[in-house]
Amino acid sequence: MDLSSIDPILLLASLMVAATPIVLAAIGELVVERAGVLNLGVEGMMIVGSVLGFVAAIETGSPWTGFFVAAFGGAALAAVFGFLTQFLLSNQVATGLALTLFGLGLAALLGQGYLGVKAPAFPDWHIPLLGDIPVIGPIVFQHDPIVYLGLAVVAGVWWFLTKTRAGLILRAVGENHEAAHALGYPVRRVRMLAIMFGGACAGLGGAYLSLVRVPTYAEGLTAGAGWIALAIVVFASWKPGRLLLGAYLFGGVTVLQLNLQAAGVAIPVEYLSMSPYIATIIVLVIMSTGGAPGSLGKTFHASR
């Protein structure tokens, strides 16, 4: 055992990177669920985002184009889900699961010919001044731009949901769609926009995996990250601040168990791997039924 070989600064820095795809996917899903829609297709939208982003980045040589295309593709896929559930009134759970399966298949198809290719370089930002602060600098201020984008989106969502009129309407739609409809709010339009925002975020999260974190495309790349994002939304009891905490907890455990192993610590990794899920279950038990948006997962039709 040689704990001195673990550099806590690098550990915390890699924690932020490890958490970023989950932060992005989860914050998108949080908005969707606050609007009263349960989209279980996060995994599918992530993997489609990862392959679209990767292909676009390879073809144009620009990772930024890749991220843009990934967000667009994720939103497009989410729009399919939105059309099915909001206009054709299909069951949200079944449609979401179908979206995941569809996404995995579509990604495998699109990814043919792009296997084993390295993504174009996406350099870290070394933020002047801030990045030079000892300890804090390397941990927080020397990452790639998407890490900061993730944080900005979380902050933006918090501000939007709690401080703006539009956010209040979105929450009203999620809590009680019939009341919101009676007040004259466009329930379906609000939900469609939320769903597409969620898809764009999931697409970005997926592209972060294929363009920065891995950085290559392989089939099944997301390996369940979308499901973790869904769990974290519940863990966070639909609050953006706690969501960040949950994602960092999860990212931290992932990184920590690898570091401990490499340092030769003989702790069974299963315990560490289990811990975020156990924490989620405990939070669910403590919260009981409170916290979930009132109309979550319910089908809305104006005539009822």
Partner 1 sequence: MLRRTLMATAAATAMLGGMAVADGHEPVKVGFVYVGPIGDGGWTYEHHQGLLAVEEEFGDAVETVFVESVPEGPDAERVMTQMALEGADLIFTTSFGYMDPTINVAAQFPDVRFEHATGYKTADNVSNYSARFYEGRAVQGHIAGQITETNTIGYIASFPIPEVIRGINAAYLHAKEVNPDIEFKIIWAYTWFDPAKEAEAAATLIDQGADVILQHTDSTAPQAAAAAANEGGANIYTFGQASDMIEFAPLPRVSSIIDNWAPYYIERTQAVIDGTWETSSRWDGMDTGMVEIGEITDAVPADVKASAEAMIAAITAGEYHPFTGPINKQDGSVWLAEGEVAADFGDDGIAGMNFYVEGLTAEVPQ
Q: Return residues touching partner 1 (CB under 8 A).
A: 5-7, 10-11, 14, 18, 21, 104-105, 108, 111-112, 115-119, 121, 123-124, 209, 213-216, 218-223, 225, 254-255, 258-259, 261-264, 266, 268-270, 273
Nearest distance from C-beta of residue 74 to partner 1, angstroms = 18
Phi/psi at 268 (5° precision):
-60, 120
CB nearer partner 1, residue 159 or residue 271:
271
CB nearer partner 1, residue 29 or residue 144:
144
CB nearer partner 1, residue 82 or residue 111:
111
C-alpha distances out from residue 135 to 10, 35, 121, 149, Å: 10, 40, 26, 22
Residue 198 and residue 39 in contact, taking contact as beta carbons nearer than 8 Å: yes
CB nearer partner 1, residue 18 or residue 154:
18
Residue 123 and residue 144 in contact, taking contact as beta carbons nearer than 8 Å: yes
Please state, in angstroms and rounded to a whole number, the distance separating the CA atoms of residues 187 and 105.
31
Nearest distance from C-beta of residue 131 to partner 1, angstroms = 15
Alpha helices, DSSP H, located in 164-186: 165-175, 177-182
Handedness of CA 82, 84, 86, 91 (dihedral sign): negative
C-alpha distances out from residue 47 to 100, 202, 292, Å: 9, 9, 27
> How many CB atoms are closer than 10 A to CB 116?
7
Nearest distance from C-beta of residue 209 to partner 1, angstroms = 6
Nearest distance from C-beta of residue 126 to partner 1, angstroms = 11
Nearest distance from C-beta of residue 291 to partner 1, angstroms = 29
Nearest distance from C-beta of residue 100 to partner 1, angstroms = 10
118 bridge partner residues: 216
CB nearer partner 1, residue 161 or residue 221:
221
CB nearer partner 1, residue 267 or residue 281:
267
